[in-house]
Amino acid sequence: MKNAGGIDKQWVVLAELASILVRKGKMVPEEAFFRLRLANNIITFYLLDDHSSFEVLRDAEKEISKVQMILFGLCDDELAKEYLDKMAKAIRNELDVVFPLKKTTFDTEVKKRKNIESIRIKLNKELQTEILGDLSEWYGVIFEFSKELDNTIIIEGNKDKVKNALKDFSIIWKY
């Protein structure tokens, strides 16, 4: 898995601090929780998307900085000192905490980009890889086995070509 350079650990520390402040009866502004959720989504996106660049984390870092200003303003001296120490360790990536990586139920295999479309088909029988290669060449689309589901094929390519391939492939797929 990708490394978020300690930004994920900073988020964990600030989320913990926010919950402690709420338990102590402090009025934590909704903005702090909004920015924590935003930073969480950015970090999660970075960690799960293989193609995201490290630059994405700059936005998370900005949000974390704003949350830090809000939360540390509500702390007493002892709590502020304790959590500043934890933040320093998180920045150096020395803190042993786990970022709550929430995997979405969104299926990464089925996606649509401009006129490129993907479709998933569940097969009743096993199909040889060579057949998929031949079909890919013949129709000008990508036929591949699903990485997420067993006995499932993904067809990806231009929308019209996918429709054509699907019509002819349905003969194989139904039987």
pLDDT in tens, 83-123: 999 999 999 988 888 887 665 444 444 555 566 777 777 77
Residue intervals in the chain for CATH 3.30.1370.10: 112-174
Kindly state the percentage of the chain with pLDDT values over 70.
87
Confirm if 148 and 109 have CB atoms less than 8 A apart: yes
For 112-174, CATH number? 3.30.1370.10
pLDDT for 105: 45
16 to 29, 82, 161: CA distances (angstroms)? 15, 12, 51
pLDDT for 164: 80
Residue 151 has pLDDT above 80, yes or no: no
> Can you give the three-state secondary structure of 24-79, one letter per residue?
CCCCCCHHHHHHHHHHHHHHHHHHHCCCCCCCHHHHHHHHHHHHHHHHHCCCCHHH
pLDDT for 44: 87
Q: To the nearest whole number, what is the mean pLDDT of the chain? A: 83
Kind and range of the H or E run holding 110: none
pLDDT for 114: 61
Q: What is the pTM of this model?
A: 0.58
Q: Name which residue leads in pLDDT, 162 or 85.
A: 85
Give the Cα separation of 98 and 16 in Å (integer). Answer: 12
Q: Give the pLDDT mean for 25-52.
A: 88
Confirm if 99 and 12 have CB atoms less than 8 A apart: yes
Name the least confident of 52-66, 118-132, 150-164. 118-132
